């Protein structure tokens, strides 16, 4: 397991301070006092996490992290700056897609927590890549199998599907961990989505598929900074614009395979409103994919009853007033007829 950390700062006392605070965390720490020196270190080392100061001579932190991305694309990048403005954060996100940015002076607990999350993110991406590699290898094996080896084909197919499901669930859980204070959000949304589909009279396999892929609705938030996701107060216009991009980012994360088509529809369109006032495309009525029209009902209900802690009846009443505005009236009527449960059990993840 890679636990190497590269710290780059032109001030030796900052590097020494960070090393002292992190010495008991079990990291293998390298350091450099300039971007150029940091890039030289990367020729012989493969750090999982790179922490860089922003204000450095010759090569600043953003330029350095852009270069790090080119030579070590898997490294999780963190920016440390004494200029904690929104503009600097947005520039860092836009140009280098950093994992997080921290401001000076930092708190010991805060920097330990951020770096720990960065290593967890690195491990998750590495594990997801491993699963996709297994999937690709299994797919190659299937192409060479004899058509008479039916049992072996079925066994490999099950392994293939299980690997894909594991990757989906891990990615969804990673996104949820960035923005879910209550826990269990994706599980509840999945269960309620499945029940709404069934209430609409959809075929059982379609209910399972939409229910399963509903867990990916906020996967794009994995690329939104914690400074925005976890901001205690209201977002500024610029921050809200960044937050809204999670729908488009989520669609891109899910690629272009037909297998993920429903997941892409949900990720992109689950914030579209029936009256056309949603985002990102301002779709309205039946222009919005059916799967997304269903998931927004489940998602809003769960937010009302868990993040805002409304009762079931209070949430129902609030949502009823949004019929024909936020929600598809037919889907909302089906939802309002449901007997609401809050499941603690998970679905069988081998089924969709």
* Pair 153, 161: CB distance under 8 Å: no
DSSP string covering 193-215: HHHHHHHTT--HHHHHHHHHHGG
Out of 19, 209, 221, 307, pick the active-site residue.
221
Q: Is the pLDDT of residue 152 over 60?
A: no
Q: Does 300 score more than 90 pLDDT?
A: yes
> What pTM was computed for the model?
0.52
Tell me what pLDDT residue 280 has.
96
Q: Does residue 145 surpass a pLDDT of 70? A: no
Looking from the CA of 188 toward its CB, the CA atoms found within 13 Å total 22
* Closest listed residue to residue 31, CA positions, set 19, 48, 20: 19
Over residues 8-35, the pLDDT tens digits come to 999 999 999 999 999 899 999 999 999 9
Residue carrying the six token digits 């922490």: 51
| 208 counts as catalytic | no
Task: Report the sign of the C-alpha dihedral through residues 240, 329, 332, 266, in that order.
Answer: negative
User: What pLDDT, on a 0 to 100 scale, did the predictor assign at position 166?
Assistant: 62
Compute the radius of gyration of the chain from its Cα atoms.
23
Strand, coil or helix: 228: helix
Percentage of residues in the chain having pLDDT higher than 90: 57
Enumerate domains of the chain plus CATH numbers.
Answer: 4-117 (3.40.50.2300), 180-352 (1.10.3210.10)
CA distance 336 to 317: 9
Reading the block at residue 269, the tokens are 């369109």
Q: DSSP for 37-80, please give it.
A: HHHHHHTT---SEEEEES--SSS-HHHHHHHHHHH-TTSEEEEE
Residue 272: pLDDT band (50, 70, 90) is very high
Please give the pLDDT value at position 129: 86
**Residue 61 CB burial class (10 angstroms; 0-12, 13-18, ≥19):** buried
């Amino acid at each position: 397991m890679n636990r190497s950390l590269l710290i780059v700062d032109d001030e030796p006392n900052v590097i020494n301070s960070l090393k002292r605070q992190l010495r008991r965390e079990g990291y293998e720490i390298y350091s450099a006092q300039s971007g150029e020196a940091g890039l030289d270190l990367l020729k012989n080392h493969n750090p999982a996490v790179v922490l860089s100061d922003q204000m450095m001579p010759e090569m600043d932190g953003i330029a350095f992290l852009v270069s790090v991305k080119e030579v070590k694309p898997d490294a999780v990048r963190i920016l440390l700056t004494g200029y904690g403005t929104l503009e600097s954060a947005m520039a860092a996100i836009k140009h280098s897609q950093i994992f997080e940015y921290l401001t000076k002076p930092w708190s010991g607990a805060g920097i330990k927590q951020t770096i720990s999350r960065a290593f967890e993110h690195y491990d998750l991406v590495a594990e997801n890549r491993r699963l996709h590699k297994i999937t690709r290898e299994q797919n190659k094996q299937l192409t060479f199998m004899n058509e008479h080896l039916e049992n072996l084909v079925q066994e490999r197919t099950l392994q293939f599907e299980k690997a894909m499901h594991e990757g989906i669930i891990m990615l969804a859980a990673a996104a949820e961990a960035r923005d879910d204070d209550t826990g269990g959000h994706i599980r509840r949304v999945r269960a309620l989505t499945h029940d709404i589909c069934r209430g609409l009279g959809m075929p059982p396999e379609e209910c399972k598929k939409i229910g399963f892929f509903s867990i990916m609705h906020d996967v794009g938030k994995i690329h939104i900074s914690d400074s925005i996701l976890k901001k205690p107060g209201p977002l500024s216009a610029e921050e809200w614009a960044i937050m809204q991009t999670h729908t488009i980012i989520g669609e891109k994360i899910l690629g272009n395979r037909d297998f993920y088509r429903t997941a892409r529809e949900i990720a992109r369109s689950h914030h579209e409103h029936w009256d056309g006032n949603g985002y990102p495309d301002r779709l309205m009525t039946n222009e919005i994919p059916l799967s997304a029209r269903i998931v927004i009902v489940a998602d809003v209900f769960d937010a009302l009853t868990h993040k805002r802690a409304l009762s079931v009846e209070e949430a129902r009443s609030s949502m009823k007033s949004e019929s024909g505005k936020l929600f598809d009236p037919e889907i909302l009527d089906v939802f309002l007829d449901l007997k609401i449960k809050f499941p603690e059990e998970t679905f069988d993840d081998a089924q969709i």
